[in-house]
Structure 1
Amino acid sequence: MQLTQQNPDIHAYLASDDVVDHWHPLVQETADGLWSATGDAYSYAKAAFEFVRDVIPHSADSGDPRVAWRASDVLSTRNGICLAKSHALVALLRAQGIPAGLCYQRLTLGDDQSTGHVVHGLVAVRLPGGERWSRVDPRGNKPGVDARFDLEREQLAFPVRPERGEIDYPEVYAAAHPATLKALRESADRPELWRRLPTAL
């Protein structure tokens, strides 16, 4: 799939805001620690991806009812759904000067369309000097889910199934989508968040 920048200015994909707060001391400290163990952009991006994927549990897997949405909060609470974990990974990448953005999928909640749909969050990364965006999925692996860091042949948690109404959205967003962010910000706990999450963009 051909990914397209929602914002034509590449500098927008290095910016900090209330969600991707990569100037926060905890984000900086985490990024510096990961960088010191790697030393080049590709190795760092892979290490940051694996850190968010493996060290921060997806709250649906862990049973954590808290809702985190700001990157620094995801890192401090070690908790978040796919959308929040994507915010954390984008912040870690931008903290070391690697352009990164947010991507989305529309997936079924269960095995078929009768269970409804939900918007799933991903990350797009473009290494400095690179010509193309690549998607990665820091959701967190579990039985049946094996997402990996591969910039040539993407290996996401959930390849879409168009026959079930699932969609890969091609846009790479510089900031969190308003619909997903509204659900995260306005939900007191994860059960409420599940009810509020958008079913499409």
Structure 2
Amino acid sequence: MQLIQQNPDLSAYLAADEVIDHHHPLVRETATRLASDAADSYAYARAAYEYVRDAIPHSADSGDLRVTWRASDVLEQRTGICHAKAHALAALLRAEDIPTAFCYQRLTHDAGTGHVVHGMVAVRFQGAWHRQDCRGNKAGVDAQFSLGGERLAFVADDKCSEVDYPVLYDAPHPAVLRALKDAPDRPYLWENLPDAL
């Protein structure tokens, strides 16, 4: 799949903002700790990915009712859905000057009715973008950090009207962010996530 940069300026994919608050002390502390054991940027990116994937449970899997959306809050509260976890991973990667984009899939909703937008990141290594899904593994899901072929949580099935959106955004999509911010709890969010971009 051809990935399309929304913004040609790579510095946009390193920026901090209200959501990707990689200057926050907790994000910096976590990044420093993960970097201390990493031999290079690639090893750091893998460690950050595995940390977010494994140490921060997906709130739907764990049953946590809280909704997080700001990267530092995801790290502090150790919970989030795919979008929130992608925000945390992006902050950790950008904290170490690794260009990171947001990308999305349209998948069949877990409830079995309709569709839902699923969030991931893409990292820039070796002159190319590589999508990574830090959602969290469970039965039937085995996502891995990879630059040599995608190992995502889900493969979009066009026969089910599922879509891999090719656009790489420099900030979280406004529709996704609005849903996260407006949700009083995860069950409400689960029913009110965008079904398409």
Q: Percentage identity across aligned positions? A: 63
The 2-side partners of 1:145 and 1:111 are apart by 17
2:167 is matched with which residue? 171
Q: Per-residue CA shift, 1:89-124, capped at 9, x if unaligned?
A: 000000000000100000001496xx1100000110
1:188 paired with 2:184, answer yes
Give the aligned length.
197
The 1-side partners of 2:110 and 2:48 are apart by 29
Gaps of 5+ in 2: none
1:149 paired with 2:145, answer yes
What is the TM-score normalised by the length of structure 1? 0.96
Tell me the CA shift for residue 151 of structure 1: 0.9
2:22 is matched with which residue? 22
Tell me the CA shift for residue 152 of structure 1: 1.4
Q: Per-residue CA shift, 1:12-57, capped at 9, x if unaligned?
A: 0000000000000000000000000113100000000000000000
RMSD: 1.0
Residues 174 and 191 (structure 1 numbering): CA distance in 2 closer, same or farther, change over 3 Å? same
Tell me the CA shift for residue 8 of structure 1: 1.0
2:87 is matched with which residue? 87
1:59 paired with 2:59, answer yes
1:133 is matched with which residue? 129
Q: Which amino acid aligns with 1:53?
A: R
Tell me the CA shift for residue 60 of structure 1: 0.2
The aligned runs of 1:96-111 (5 Å cut-off) are 96-110=96-110
Q: Which amino acid aligns with 2:130?
A: S
What is the TM-score normalised by the length of structure 2? 0.98
